[in-house]
Structures are given as structure tokens and as C-alpha cells.
Amino acid sequence: MPNTSTKAGFHYNQGTYSGWTNRETWAAHLWITNEEDLYLMALQTANSEMLEDWIDEMFDLKPQSEKLTTMFDDIGSVWRVNWGEIYDAIQD
């Protein structure tokens, strides 16, 4: 039986990647919480869907910014990110 827990109604498999759902979720959280401008914007989102929409909007701007290009290259498959897990973590 996998080691699992529930946070704010979301079910997570513990230890999949450094305690996160997967590598993409870990990388997205790392970027958001280590870049002050990204973190402050993320704190203003009302829910995980708004957080995901905001990231999708930034993805469209990627060609205009070296920083965003690097961030999205580091994250990899944005569609695999567990935005609910990240939202919960930044709200704590």
C-alpha cells in the first residue's frame, strides 16, 4: 500500500518526487516560491484554477522572457503539474 495523505481534499502519494506529486509539481513550486515576483503574484490567486490560468498566461509570454523560458524548460510538462498541491502549499 502506498504512503498517502490528504491535504485540503486532495489525495497525494507521498515521496513520489521529494514529497511532491511528481517532478513537474516540485519544479513549478520551486520556481514560484524562489522568485519573489512570482510568489507575490501566486499569493493573489483565489484558487488552484486561477493559479493554473495565470501560469498558462505566462507560458504564452515565454518567447519574450529568458527567465520564463528557463522556468518552463525546468518544469517540463506543465499539464502534469498538480496545481492544487502548489496552491495549498503557498497558502500555508
Answer whether residue 8 shows pLDDT above 50. no
Q: Tell me what pLDDT residue 14 has.
A: 54
pTM: 0.80
Per the structure, the count of domains in the chain is 1
Instruction: Please indicate, yes or no, if residue 1 is contained in any of the structural domains.
Output: no
The boundaries of the domain holding residue 42 are: 22-91
For 13-35, the pLDDT digits (tens) are 555 899 999 999 999 999 999 99
Please return the burial class of 73, using the count of CB atoms within 10 Å of its CB with bins 0-12, 13-18 and 19+.
Answer: exposed
Q: DSSP 3-state assignment of 46?
A: coil
Q: Is residue 35 part of a domain?
A: yes
Q: What is the pLDDT of residue 92?
A: 85
Domain assignment of residue 17, yes or no: no
